[in-house]
Amino acid sequence: MTTELKQTFCSIITIGDELLIGQTIDTNSAWIAQQLNPIGIPVKRRIAVGDNKQEILDALERERNDSDIIIITGGLGPTSDDITKPVLCEYFNSGLIENAAVLKHIMSYFDKRNRPMLQSNLMQAMVPEVCEVLFNEEGTAPGMLFKEKGQVIISLPGVPNEMQYIISTHVLSYLQANFKTPNFIHRTLVTSGEGESFIAERLKDFEATLPPEIKLAYLPKINIVKLRLTATDIEEGILETHFHRLKEILHNITIIDADLELEFVLGQLLVRNQKTISVAESCTGGSIASRITSIKGSSAYFKGGIVPYSIESKQNVLEVSKDTIDRFGVVSEETVIEMAQKCREKFKSDFALSVSGYLEKKDHDNSVWIGLNSSSTKLTKKIIAPYDREKNTILVANAALNLLRLFILKQLSASS
């Protein structure tokens, strides 16, 4: 039994020529959507328009037809291409007034950084009379909230940390207090090892029996497919039941039953088992180490890494024997075995991963060897890297991190 509740929708309008010429990738919209979903406000549409008054007004007018909440980002900077504030003043027929709190904050902001202040910075303390100011502790452009005809229009700076600060501190609590929202929940399963269409084949019966309030989506990435169940207005327990069935069907290819990165999952596993790792990565050039250390608290289990990018450094720094490299080549099973072993010895870690291969299409046969070393194991895996340099780096790093994850799980299940 569901109560009748009008669904509240949000539209996101991002403003800036840089978005339309492809100079900037819009990460703000995704972040905002991630915050709004848990409080039951789905994003209806996302629109990117240029620094152009008519385009901004058109987008605003159109989105107000369909959404209750419009979040606008960008165009609030101190320079002349930033036109959002004057456009909103015109739209809401409002003059500007100086906001004392914002002015004080701007002055202290520059004072703290020991930077002189300009007239253009002071102008940021001028806000539309009819708006509610959303204080921006992280920068100088305040957010602005307008109310009209039961709708809320929120204008925020486009600088990600400033936008994020204002949403977290002011916007979410305001929306929760002012909009009644339905129960809107997601559960995500992350898998690796099977293509989208194969998973779909395995899930045919499962999909056929899903109630209409639950939707299944496939999100394929580089050698990873995420499966997402979305439910509107049903009890969490019902979603859980279906999610549990999904996990059972795909148990053999599941990485984790939450929308988390592989490096996070591996980190948790290492912490729980009090194990440490190190990495010796050649072709991935530091990106495995960099992904591991992107996780807060990784210093508890990551001892360090070596990027032996040249052949000499494989010999001189990592101390792989010249003989092994000469006989088998830098990209070989024998070399990654020795790389992982030397790495583990140097860093005194429980596990070591090693990688050596070719990531560019024209290089040789595009093959990459991955090694894993522990006190009791020498494991290797060969993979083919069919994409471009950037995607292959992700592919290989995923494969290496997952090799270690699966190995630890296998050890655990063997010892239990």
Interactions with a second copy, residue window 135-174 (CB under 8 A) = 159-161
> 3-class SS at 232?
strand
Applying the rule CB under 8 A, the residues between 37 and 76 that interact with a second copy are 37, 42-51, 55, 59, 62
What separation, in Å, do the N-terminal and C-terminal C-alpha atoms of the chain show?
A: 44
How many residues lie near a second copy (CB under 8 A)? 101
> 3-class SS at 249?
helix
Structure tokens at 31: 């972040």
Binding-site member from 18, 334, 338, 350 for a second copy (CB under 8 A): 18
Binding-site member from 326, 360, 361, 377 for a second copy (CB under 8 A): 360
Binding-site member from 284, 356, 373, 374 for a second copy (CB under 8 A): 284
Q: Is residue 178 involved in binding a second copy (CB under 8 A)?
A: no
Which is nearer to a second copy, 48 or 89 (by Cβ)? Answer: 48
Interatomic CA distance for residues 124 and 111, integer angstroms: 16
Cβ burial of 34 (10 Å; 0-12, 13-18, 19+) is exposed
Structure tokens at 273: 């088992």
Q: For 217, which DSSP code?
A: E
Which is nearer to a second copy, 394 or 403 (by Cβ)? Answer: 394
- Identify which range of 87-95, 249-257, 277-285, 331-339 contacts a second copy by CB under 8 A: 277-285
**Least distance from C-beta 201 to a second copy, angstroms?**
5
Question: 126 pairs with which residues across the strands?
Answer: 98
**Least distance from C-beta 281 to a second copy, angstroms?**
8
Residue of 164, 169, 140, 144 lying closest to 155 (CA atoms): 144
**Least distance from C-beta 155 to a second copy, angstroms?**
18
Phi, psi for residue 67 in degrees, rounded to 5:
-125, 155
Q: Is residue 31 involved in binding a second copy (CB under 8 A)?
A: yes
Q: Do 352 and 373 contact (CB within 8 A), yes or no?
A: yes
Interatomic CA distance for residues 187 and 245, integer angstroms: 12
Applying the rule CB under 8 A, the residues between 107 and 126 that interact with a second copy are 115, 118, 120-121
**Least distance from C-beta 37 to a second copy, angstroms?**
5
Q: Do 34 and 46 contact (CB within 8 A), yes or no?
A: no
**Least distance from C-beta 94 to a second copy, angstroms?**
24
Which is nearer to a second copy, 94 or 290 (by Cβ)? Answer: 290
Applying the rule CB under 8 A, the residues between 231 and 260 that interact with a second copy are 259
**Least distance from C-beta 330 to a second copy, angstroms?**
11
**Least distance from C-beta 287 to a second copy, angstroms?**
4
Interatomic CA distance for residues 41 and 182, integer angstroms: 8
Q: For 201, which DSSP code?
A: H
Alpha helices in 7-154 (DSSP H): 17-20, 28-36, 53-66, 84-91, 100-112, 119-122
Which is nearer to a second copy, 33 or 406 (by Cβ)? Answer: 33
Q: Is residue 350 involved in binding a second copy (CB under 8 A)?
A: no
Q: Is residue 196 involved in binding a second copy (CB under 8 A)?
A: yes
Structure tokens at 51: 């620094």
Question: 221 pairs with which residues across the strands?
Answer: 224
Q: Is residue 348 involved in binding a second copy (CB under 8 A)?
A: yes
Q: Do 280 and 339 contact (CB within 8 A), yes or no?
A: yes
Task: Report CA-CA distances (Å) from 4 to 1, 69, 233.
Answer: 10, 20, 9
- Identify which range of 16-24, 127-135, 143-151, 245-253 contacts a second copy by CB under 8 A: 16-24
- Identify which range of 95-103, 196-204, 264-272, 371-379 contacts a second copy by CB under 8 A: 196-204
What is the pattern of x (binds a second copy, CB under 8 A) and - over residues 288-327?
A: xxx-xxx-x-xx--xxxxxxxxx-xx--xx----------
Instruction: Look at strands 277-281 and 69-73 and give their pairing.
Output: unpaired
